[in-house]
Structure 1
Amino acid sequence: MRDWMFVAPLLAKHYKVVTFDGRGAGKSPDPVGDVNCVEDLKRLLVQLNIHRTTLIGHSMGGQIATDFSLEYPEYVSELILIAPALSGFHYSSEFVKYMNKVSSAAPDIDKMIEISQSAPSYRVVQTSPHKKLTEQMLRHHIERTFHWPDFELIWPKPPAAERLGELTAKTLLMVGTEELPDNIRVADYFQKHSDAHIVEILGADHMVTLTHPKDLYRNIVNFIEG
């Protein structure tokens, strides 16, 4: 939920806002067995008696939000994605090598953080006042993964990359101009295969939620009200 600590209060001035930690993140329990993030989100909305919402997701949260919108379109009035991942998308060999390099540094957490933060997608936040917060969030995530039991992430089939044309929710995708090439490619893929409105956030990297909350806020409100 720390990812939203600057954006959520701005939106809460005008809307009811709910943020949550997915399984294995923040204060939520560790993932066990088969984990279906889409069904977790549906159970949360049902529990909160929310039957129609603007759904906002960042990074992997964007992947969850996209899959949810395809599986349960009746729940989503607007879909807002911020540098989202995408199930079924073919990521480059360079991106896979980068992720493997981070993993291979385990269990040296400091080394894993150093490698992870060396990517271009963290260059802006590394020179911002939020550098320490970003590292704290990453350290928390890595430390928790060392204690996770065996589990498997379950995603809807077919994957979202093959179904973007089925999106019925009005969709906004925002991505920083200082992102990894693969994240830019995901935005381009949405533009080609859906009716999503694409907005570039000038001078932002992957942690745009921390460094450019007012830009996100303005675009979100304009999109909803427009």
Structure 2
Amino acid sequence: MTLAHDVGGTGPGVLLLHSTASDRRQWDPQLPALVDAGYRVVRCDLRGYGETPMPDGPYDNARDVLELLDQLGVERTALVASSGGGRVALEIAARWPDRVASLALLCTALDGHEPSPELLAFGEREEALLEAGDVAGATELNVDTWLPHADEATREWLRRMQRNAFEVQLAAVEEVERIRVPYDLADITAPSLLVAGADDFADFREIAVRLAELLPDARHLELDRVGHLPNMERPDEVNRLLLDFLRETFPA
């Protein structure tokens, strides 16, 4: 199955992977900036998000993305990813290092991370709301949690994406498992940019610090007055950071 996606521009490839609270529309502010800078930009909806349906059997997000790149003829790409999309990006960069030219991760998740009590409490509250049939309440919990400094237009933008993700996933007939393929972060060769939000959960700030110590040629920075989705709360600043990083590591 081909992931729902769109492509803009020409030049070196840049693949955008969204968070698990959104879909490919998360990258609306970045798409024109990257295209204007001379990149061919691909953004896709992972399984169960946006316009991509839930899988009907065990699935491998990283393999799905690689197959999309193959279909589009993208031999080598920069990966720009947010939150849960960052976990997929790290797996791709480790399993197929020759396909990844550079890696920019915004508040990334990480396989094997032990969640803090605060993050566990958030997950339990979300699950309780969904089990009670309160999709609107679960959606609002995510908006309040992930965008602490956003204006109402930005909150509504995330609200639409998160509500859609819940509806797609809750409509699935049965739960299916993600295929877990062993991989080693030490196999990553791409230079990386690790961005954290000062007002995000401590988990994601700690993951950024840990990855900065593990990954080759890694740079780490933390943005003040930013929560979990900096590209939505501070799009202009994030665009500058991404373009500076890409011009240095994978120039158009």
Does 2:144 align with 1:111? no
Q: 2:84 aligns with which of 40, 48, 60?
A: 60
Amino acid at match of 1:12: V
Deviation for aligned residue 1:150 = 2.2
Deviation for aligned residue 1:42 = 0.8
Deviation for aligned residue 1:128 = 4.7
Counterpart-to-counterpart distance in 1, 2:141 and 2:34: 33
Contact 1:38–1:64 under 8 Å retained in 2? yes
Root mean square deviation of aligned Cα? 1.5
Partner of 2:179: 154
Spell out, residue by residue over 1:113-165, the C-alpha distance to the aligned partner (whole angstroms, 9 max, x if none): 2333343x42112x45311111111111111111123211123214xxxx333
Spell out, residue by residue over 1:59-103, the C-alpha distance to the aligned partner (whole angstroms, 9 max, x if none): 111110000000000100101111111111122132112101111
Q: Any unmatched runs of 5+ in structure 2?
A: 1-23
Amino acid at match of 2:92: F
Q: The residue matched to 1:96 in structure 2 has which SS?
A: helix
Amino acid at match of 2:168: R
Contact 1:38–1:155 under 8 Å retained in 2? no
**Identity over the aligned pairs, expressed in percent?**
25
Q: The residue matched to 1:115 in structure 2 has which SS?
A: helix
Spell out, residue by residue over 1:190-213, the C-alpha distance to the aligned partner (whole angstroms, 9 max, x if none): 123223211222322112121212
State which drifts further: 202-211 or 35-44. 202-211
Partner of 2:5: none
Does 2:101 align with 1:80? no
Moved segments of 4+, more than 4 Å: none
Q: Any unmatched runs of 5+ in structure 1?
A: none
Amino acid at match of 2:26: D
TM-score (norm 1): 0.91
Of structures 1 and 2, the one with the larger relative CO (CA 8 A, separation 6+) is 1
Counterpart-to-counterpart distance in 1, 2:162 and 2:68: 25
Q: The residue matched to 1:130 in structure 2 has which SS?
A: helix
Partner of 2:185: 164
TM-score (norm 2): 0.82
Partner of 1:220: 242
Q: 1:182 aligns with which of 203, 219, 225?
A: 203
